[in-house]
Amino acid sequence: MCRLGIATVLIVLMSGCVLGRGPGNPQYYEPAVVAHSSVMDARADLTLRLNPVAASAHLKERLVWRDADVELGFYDLHRWTQPPAAYVDRRLSAELFEVYGIRRAKAGAYPTLDVKLQAFDLVFGDERVAVVDIHVLLSDARRISLLEKTFVTTSKVERRNIESASRAFGDALEEALRQISSEVVTALDGAN
C-alpha cells in the first residue's frame, strides 16, 4: 500500500514536469523602450564606425541581481529575450545614426567607438535600482583616444516585481545612451 502511494505521488509530480505545467518555466522580458529624443540636426559632417558591443561574461540571458557590491546572482526563471549587449548595440546605433544623423562607416580609416557593457544589474539595498554600467572608448582614425569614459546610470524600481524592474532598466539604459551619444558627438566635433 505504501509503495502504491509513493508511486502515485511521483507520477503526479513528474507529469507536471513532462507536460510543462510545472513552476520551472522561464519568463522572458525586455527593457522598456523609451521614446527616442527628437531627431537632431543631421550631422552628416561626422562619420563613425561602431564596433559590436561587448559585455562582461556574466551578462547573458538570465537577469542578474546584486546585493551591494559583493554578491552577484542570477534569476533562474527570469530572462531577457536577448543578451543585454544586443539592447545596447541596437539602441546606441539608433541614437547615433538616426537621432543624431551621424554617417555610419563599415570600414576604412574613421573614428571608431568600442563599447563594453559592464553591468546590467538589479541591485538590492535600501531601494531596488536598475544599474547600467557602460565603458566607451572613442578613437580617431590613427587609434588615438578621443574619449574614454565609464557611464553609470541608475533608475529606481518602483514596485517589487520584474515588470517594474524591466521599466527601470529601460529608463537607465536610455539615460546612459543619451549621455554617451552627446559626449561622442562633442568629442568628434573637437577632433574635426
Q: Which residue range(s) make up the domain with 112? A: 27-191
Cβ contact 50:113 at 8 Å: yes
Q: Which three cell numbers stand for residue 104?
A: 555610419
Query: What does the pLDDT look like over 110-148, one tens digit per residue?
Result: 999 999 999 999 998 888 999 999 999 999 989 999 999
φ/ψ of residue 46, rounded to 5: -110, 140
| Within a domain: 44 | yes
| Within a domain: 124 | yes
Give me the pLDDT at residue 35, please: 64
Q: Return the CATH number at 101.
A: 3.40.50.10610
| Within a domain: 10 | no
Let me know if 115 is exposed, middle or buried by CB neighbors in 10 A (0-12, 13-18, 19+): buried
What radius of gyration do the chain's Cα atoms show?
Answer: 22
pLDDT at 19 over 50: no
Residues with Cβ within 8 Å of residue 89, at least 6 apart in sequence = 50, 52, 53, 115
pLDDT confidence tier of residue 3, bands split at 50, 70 and 90: low
What is the spatial distance between Cα 143 and Cα 45, in angstroms, rounded to a whole number? 20
- Secondary structure class of 75 (helix, strand, coil): strand
Query: What does the pLDDT look like over 154-169, one tens digit per residue?
Result: 999 998 888 889 999 9
Q: Structural domain tally of the chain?
A: 1
